Amino acid sequence: MKGVLGIKRGMTQVFGDKGVVIPVTVIEAGPCHVVQVKTKETDGYEAIVVGFMDKRKGLVNKPMQGQFKKAGVAPKRYLKEFRVEAGHEYKVGDEFKCDIFAEGDFVDATSRTKGRGFTGVIKRWNQARVGPMSHGTGPIHRSAGSMGANSCPSRVFKGKHNAGQYGDEQVTIQNLQVIKVDVAKNCLLIKGGIPGADGSFVVVKEAVKKQGGNK
């Protein structure tokens, strides 16, 4: 499976062949370097470990410094493992950029959503307010309301939508279409939105569920 690591730089729009406005997310993808090659003989499976974005040597521990030195690449901030098929031609130190994808390809993008802290049921689960807004109902309008059953079982079942931590979780958006590959700026323009704030780390992989699309 081919993939690339990148940073979300924001959103913009481009015009398709028929003049239709297409919203796209700009991903600065690569350059990435192969830091380690895992084989079935040594690790039990075939994979490559890819590094992205240089990191100051003083922020890297000694074992990882040795790993990067052995690979002949500068210390990297982000590392990601990609499974590959047997007989691949990847070697330690290889570099690849956004041009591993082409216009029209379908990809899966993985990132972390924006963290929103501890939120109530209205923001977290899109629930409605409780009771009328006047006539002495009290400050209960944004509360969860009653969710127990009755004297049997006299408890709230697990899995009910309650207030709690919202956001800051890993999310994968599948089957996004690559609209443009800008090799000069090393950027991918991907149709639609990708989770996370601008500047967040994104993993772009070949789509598992490939579907048709148009511009």
pLDDT digits (tens, 9 = 90+) for 74-94: 899 999 998 888 777 888 888
- pLDDT given at position 70: 85
Residue 60 is assigned to a structural domain of this protein: yes
Residue 127 is assigned to a structural domain of this protein: no
Tell me how far the alpha carbon of residue 34 is from its chain's centroid: 20
* 206 pLDDT more than 60: yes
Mean of the pLDDT values across residues 46-64? 90
Antiparallel, parallel or unpaired: β 21-29 and 187-191: antiparallel
Residue 146 is assigned to a structural domain of this protein: no
Residue 128 is assigned to a structural domain of this protein: no
- pLDDT given at position 212: 60
Residue 177 is assigned to a structural domain of this protein: yes
The percentage of residues in the chain with a pLDDT greater than 90, rounded to a whole number, is: 42
Please tell me the total count of domains within the chain.
1
What does pTM read for this prediction?
0.81
pLDDT digits (tens, 9 = 90+) for 95-137: 888 889 999 899 999 999 999 999 999 999 999 888 888 878 7
Can you tell me whether residue 25 is helix, strand or coil?
A: strand
Q: How many CB atoms lie within 10 A of CB 178?
A: 22
* 209 pLDDT more than 60: yes
What is the domain-level CATH number for residue 31? 2.40.30.10
Q: Report how far residue 160's alpha carbon sits from residue 148's, in angstroms, rounded to the nearest whole number.
A: 10
Which residues lie across from 94 on neighbouring strands? none
CB 180 within 8 A of CB 107: no
Tokens standing for residue 34: 């192969």
* 214 pLDDT more than 60: no
DSSP string across 159-171: T---SEE-S--EE
* 24 pLDDT more than 70: yes
Residue 15 is assigned to a structural domain of this protein: yes
Residue 38 is assigned to a structural domain of this protein: yes
How confident is the prediction for the chain on average, in pLDDT?
A: 88
Residue 125 is assigned to a structural domain of this protein: no
Q: Which residue has the higher pLDDT, 148 or 20?
A: 20
Q: Which residue has the higher pLDDT, 53 or 136?
A: 53
- pLDDT given at position 215: 47
Can you tell me whether residue 144 is helix, strand or coil?
A: coil
Tokens standing for residue 209: 């569920």
Q: Could you list the residue range(s) of the whole structural domain that residue 191 is in?
A: 3-116+165-206
* 18 pLDDT more than 90: no
The helices-and-strands tally (H runs, E runs) of the chain is: 3, 12
